[in-house]
Structure 1
Amino acid sequence: MSKVQETVREKYRSMTPSQFFYEHREIAGFGSPSRALYQTIRELVENALDATDVYGIKPRIMVVIERLEDNPDHYRITVEDNGIGINPKYVPQAFGQVLFSSKYKLRQARGRFGLGAKMAILYGQIKTGKPVEVYTSPIGFSKIYYYKLKIDIEHNRPIILSYAEHENKALWHGTRISVVIEGDWSRARSRVYEYIKRTAIATPYADIIFIDPEGNMVTYKHSIDKMPRPPREVKPHPHGVDIEQLKRLIKDVQANSMLEFLVSAFQGVGRKTAEAFLKWAKIDPNLNPQKLSDSFLSELARKLREYPKFRPPSADSLSPFGPEIIEAGLRAILKPEFVVAVSRRPKAYEGHPFIIEVGIAYGGEIPPANEPLLLRYANKIPLLYDEKSDVAWKVVDPRNFNWKDYMVVFPAPIAVLTHIASTKVPYKGVGKESVADVPEIEHELRNALREAARKLRLYLMQKRREEEAKRRVITFVKYTPEVAKSLATILKDVDEKTVQEMLLTAMKRRLRLEDEDFVKLVEGLEVSIEE
């Protein structure tokens, strides 16, 4: 048989999402035991936070890692939250069906793919053979529901091994999930601790308890009561649609005319705007959208993207940190001497709204380094891997940003926090560890960094002036007794103490200092000053 005949006779088969990610788990961040341990914690913590602060609930998150006695390479990871909980009828699919999620909405969320927690469960199942255990009690329910599950990889559906209901006497609400995976704590330890720390920086309104396999416990208590405003689901923007999305919208809206369809399907499009667009695009307002051909839809999508008079995308779908929360988080964890944060106005790329935020922390307990300590966040998620390939690093890199213009000379004790809030963060991969170089995002990041750095420069200029004044005071105070003694000798009728007080008063006036400011400048000096 020839090779051509063999090729023709090859069998074809389909692959479910769970089979695909079973075979290619490394693209979701589960390529090694150490990376898998870190990724599992990250995915479960993000789900816990999305179940709390997105709904206006102040988070209380507990993360516990236990090493199993029967196999030291196996770890049980448990994450418990006080969120809204999960309706028990959806629990099997929520944890046992890949790409099943409540997050397929046009609003900002930490998770978007319906993949993360299921990947951890899938990885644990294929490496240890152990099921996932879930306890949940939704708000308003009087019971706690328990499931023990596995994933049917071939058919991408849940296998329910055990189910139970318990009375909720403590009136607890939230979700507790335990999954056993193969891990490498010795290699993952630093990353996991750094992830928990950076999560605490981003959520100073949350209480986080972390217990590692060695029994060490770290607690981050909330330092601020304010929370970010929750995001709201919005309609798509006309600049961000394609042919397939138009087909789905036409099916969902069920409008009988193009005018009615545009008004009902898109955000920021009222009747007058729709009429103006249709006139500009030369489309009949009474045309039935249910009967449009693919070629017409292709042309319609192009014209929607090109029409210049649509209003910018709404920022209601976004939930930025806000300067107050960024500053509180940086102060609480990094203990700097100075901190500043800025939130830029909403912008858009390809019809997707985004908000850029930048915080700068300087001095204090931050160790000096030859480059800024970069804390990257996207939709409130700390990004730890692939830093140098991220657009944020491109912006803050001392080779691309002239820090000397802002009085920062390396090595310097400086940390820069960047945050991208968007309904569609342009990640470079499924692992969600670095953001692509989208020109609009890079431009806003650079402007935000400049805005924050200007405020840092003002602080450093003031600090330099105070240090110069202090040096002058040191010199003056050092020689004041001798000068006063000599002047008293010359003047004869004026005592030495009076002359010294006159000299100090003159110095205060020269430096324009109040008494208390003068005392602050000379605190710690060997020369004592009598007021």
Structure 2
Amino acid sequence: MVEVKFEQISPADFFYRNRDIAGFSSPARSLYMSIRELVENSLDACEIGRILPEISVELYSEGAVSDSGNEIYRLIVRDNGIGVDGDYIPKAFGTILFGSKYGFKQSRGTFGVGGTMALLYGQITTNRSFKVTSSRGGAKIFEYELMIDIVSNEPRVIERRVVENKMGWRGTIVDFTLEADYSTSKSKIIEYLAMTSLINPHANISFIDPKGRFYFFKRVTGQVPEPPKEAKPHPQGVDAETVSRIASDTKARSVLRMLIEEFQRVGEKTALEVLKLAEIDPQTRPSDLTHEQIARLVGVMKNYQGFRAPDTTSLSPVGVSFLEAGVKSLLKPEFYHIVQRPPSSYSGIPFIVEVAVAWGGNIPLSEDIHLYRFANKIPLLYDERADVSWKVISERVDWAAYKVPKLAPLAVITSICSPKIPYKTVGKEAIADRPEIERELTLAVRECARHLRNYLSRLEKGEAVKKRLNIYAKYLPKIAKFSAELADMEPPDIRGLLKKIGVTDEMVKEVERLEAEEAEESYESAPS
């Protein structure tokens, strides 16, 4: 008989063996992911405290090479966020799947993997410890040197120091080394920081690269966005496991009270109807619910049409004014239009779609539309064609119908916010094409496109008018002059007539200048 060996591995061990799943697939991609994850953590730390973010990223070459032949870099990310309590620092940075983002509200991070995964990647590739310094603005600053015990998924404290916080500093500094390929990832890193600045125009973000070049993305608004609030789950968005956990943990003494107190927007009348359909006695104690009863209850809740729409307080969309500030600052378009769709939901999970369409300015001419995708205020730079936004702009919108030529300076910015973004992978780079999200994106893009069509139509008409006026400016003075010569009269002053039909003195002078240039060119090119 063949003996089969079973073993259990920790989350840290799983990601150690399968780091590609989290996006750490190569030295170039891993550097990008490390910067991205730590910057997102910094933005969240500032947003929670309603603090205008000051985030700096520094990357230095260590002048050493790893065992695999790649260069080793030192990465330092600093922020002025709310900081981390000293006692929580080891767990927060040294344990995979340990975090503060598992509640039902919008946040940039989702899985409790990203920031710690960056540190784990650094440890794996350089076999060095990492340092975390943080303070919540109190009397002490906590400094830790840590490593992650991959087998047990626990932090190993190498050194702990507590120093006096004389200046009242608040924030977090993460300092570690990693194997990386900056030359390959440079463009993506700069693009990521620029796009982060676009969608977070209230942040100051700086970057010092290994060659000492300084990049600064300055905030363009002093307003701080309203942070999302944690909300109870919507009954249509839960599964049997969630209901089972709620039933075990609730303080409600009956399943009726459990539905009212533990779920959002459920009143007594609705709860009684649901329980009647599920054939469950309203006075049943939650802890006494059987697996069969929970399964029936979940089935009824998912299909019940009487629930009110999900609560949107768990959402914090970019906002039209913030998106406008970002678009104007970075793209400087000749035209833009922004649409924020009303809140919607998929499977009981609320979401809001925001879309901007921009034309001209810093947007280069291209046969492809420049698509900038964001999810919960973070840029998505990889796997563009696997994303629902790409599907919408390439398949659901006929741009020719909106007067957009094949070669156009056109950009589309899509932003989706939700407590649970339906990413296709743990790497969080592409959003799944849920029908509800696809519909909202399509409606928003088409609305923006209609405004773009109106703008392009006005441009078209303006060009036609300009062309006609140029003809008047060119020929009316000549007609007046020749007519006067034929009649042996002084040429009349037709400036009043020209002005009346919209021809200015400047237009006449411009026509005369162009004619003079053409005459000079003809003379110079004529055979001698």
TM-score between the two structures when normalised by the length of structure 1: 0.92
Q: Which residue of 2 aligns with 1:62?
A: 56
**Does 1:441 pair with 2:437?**
yes
Deviation at 1:16, TM superposition (A): 0.5
> CA offsets per residue over residues 327-379 of structure 1, 9 Å max, x none?
22121112221111111011111111011111111112211111101111111
Tell me if the contact between 1:480 and 1:503 (Cα under 8 Å) persists in the aligned partners. no
Tell me if the contact between 1:376 and 1:418 (Cα under 8 Å) persists in the aligned partners. yes
SS at 2:338's partner residue? strand
Q: Distance in 2 between the 1:491 and 1:86 partners? A: 92
Q: Distance in 1 between the 2:20 and 2:41 partners? A: 20
SS at 2:132's partner residue? strand
**Does 1:464 pair with 2:460?**
yes
**Does 1:14 pair with 2:11?**
no
Match of 2:392 among 391, 395, 398: 395
Q: Distance in 2 between the 1:521 and 1:467 partners? A: 17
Matches within 5 A, 1:101-120: 101-120=99-118
Tell me if the contact between 1:473 and 1:521 (Cα under 8 Å) persists in the aligned partners. no
Q: Which residue of 2 aligns with 1:81?
A: 79
Q: Distance in 1 between the 2:490 and 2:150 partners? A: 98
Match of 1:122 among 120, 123, 126: 120
Tell me if the contact between 1:238 and 1:351 (Cα under 8 Å) persists in the aligned partners. yes
Unaligned runs of 5+ in 1: 509-517
> CA offsets per residue over residues 292-312 of structure 1, 9 Å max, x none?
110110000001111101001
Q: Which residue of 1 aligns with 2:36?
A: 42
Q: Distance in 2 between the 1:17 and 1:524 partners? A: 75
> CA offsets per residue over residues 10-63 of structure 1, 9 Å max, x none?
332111101111111111111111111111011101101111124321111101
Deviation at 1:143, TM superposition (A): 1.9
For 1:323, give the aligned amino acid: V
SS at 1:51's partner residue? helix
Q: Which residue of 2 aligns with 1:525?
A: 510
Q: Which residue of 2 aligns with 1:501?
A: 495
For 2:186, give the aligned amino acid: R
SS at 1:52's partner residue? helix
Deviation at 1:484, TM superposition (A): 3.1
For 1:525, give the aligned amino acid: E
1:520/1:14 Cα in 2 relative to 1: closer, same or farther (>3 Å)? farther
SS at 1:158's partner residue? strand
Q: Which residue of 2 aligns with 1:132?
A: 130
1:520/1:46 Cα in 2 relative to 1: closer, same or farther (>3 Å)? farther
Match of 1:243 among 240, 246, 249: 240
Matches within 5 A, 1:47-446: 47-71=41-65, 73-139=71-137, 141-397=138-394, 400-446=396-442
For 1:15, give the aligned amino acid: I
Q: Distance in 1 between the 2:460 and 2:433 partners? A: 37
1:491/1:207 Cα in 2 relative to 1: closer, same or farther (>3 Å)? farther
For 2:26, give the aligned amino acid: S
Q: Distance in 2 between the 1:287 and 1:525 partners? A: 88
For 1:66, give the aligned amino acid: Y
Q: Distance in 2 between the 1:283 and 1:486 partners? A: 99
Tell me if the contact between 1:470 and 1:522 (Cα under 8 Å) persists in the aligned partners. no
Tell me if the contact between 1:34 and 1:183 (Cα under 8 Å) persists in the aligned partners. yes
Tell me if the contact between 2:275 and 2:297 (Cα under 8 Å) persists in the aligned partners. no
Tell me if the contact between 1:391 and 1:442 (Cα under 8 Å) persists in the aligned partners. yes
For 1:24, give the aligned amino acid: N
Q: Distance in 2 between the 1:219 and 1:495 partners? A: 61
1:83/1:211 Cα in 2 relative to 1: closer, same or farther (>3 Å)? same
Q: Distance in 2 between the 1:523 and 1:284 partners? A: 88
Q: Distance in 2 between the 1:491 and 1:338 partners? A: 51
For 2:113, give the aligned amino acid: L
For 1:190, give the aligned amino acid: S
Deviation at 1:282, TM superposition (A): 4.0
Deviation at 1:466, TM superposition (A): 1.4
Q: Distance in 2 between the 1:309 and 1:350 partners? A: 14
Unaligned runs of 5+ in 2: 514-528
Deviation at 1:250, TM superposition (A): 1.5
Deviation at 1:134, TM superposition (A): 0.8
Deviation at 1:95, TM superposition (A): 0.4
Tell me if the contact between 1:470 and 1:521 (Cα under 8 Å) persists in the aligned partners. no
> CA offsets per residue over residues 258-277 of structure 1, 9 Å max, x none?
22111111001122332343
Match of 1:23 among 14, 17, 42: 17
Deviation at 1:325, TM superposition (A): 1.5
For 1:76, give the aligned amino acid: R
| RMSD over equivalenced CA pairs, Å | 1.9
Q: Distance in 2 between the 1:252 and 1:346 partners? A: 30
SS at 2:481's partner residue? helix
Tell me if the contact between 2:498 and 2:504 (Cα under 8 Å) persists in the aligned partners. no
Deviation at 1:283, TM superposition (A): 3.1
1:321/1:524 Cα in 2 relative to 1: closer, same or farther (>3 Å)? farther
Q: Distance in 2 between the 1:353 and 1:98 partners? A: 27
Deviation at 1:524, TM superposition (A): 8.7
> CA offsets per residue over residues 126-164 of structure 1, 9 Å max, x none?
11011111111114x122211110001111100011111
Q: Which residue of 1 aligns with 2:516?
A: none
Q: Distance in 1 between the 2:100 and 2:508 partners? A: 59
Q: Distance in 2 between the 1:445 and 1:527 partners? A: 51
SS at 2:351's partner residue? strand
SS at 2:63's partner residue? coil
1:13/1:61 Cα in 2 relative to 1: closer, same or farther (>3 Å)? same
Deviation at 1:278, TM superposition (A): 3.0
Q: Which residue of 2 aligns with 1:33?
A: 27
> CA offsets per residue over residues 105-126 of structure 1, 9 Å max, x none?
1000000111101111111111
> CA offsets per residue over residues 488-526 of structure 1, 9 Å max, x none?
5688888622xx123213313xxxxxxxxx659949934
Q: Distance in 1 between the 2:504 and 2:423 partners? A: 53
1:50/1:263 Cα in 2 relative to 1: closer, same or farther (>3 Å)? same
For 2:441, give the aligned amino acid: L
Tell me if the contact between 1:339 and 1:360 (Cα under 8 Å) persists in the aligned partners. yes
Tell me if the contact between 1:62 and 1:209 (Cα under 8 Å) persists in the aligned partners. yes
Tell me if the contact between 1:55 and 1:84 (Cα under 8 Å) persists in the aligned partners. yes
TM-score between the two structures when normalised by the length of structure 2: 0.93
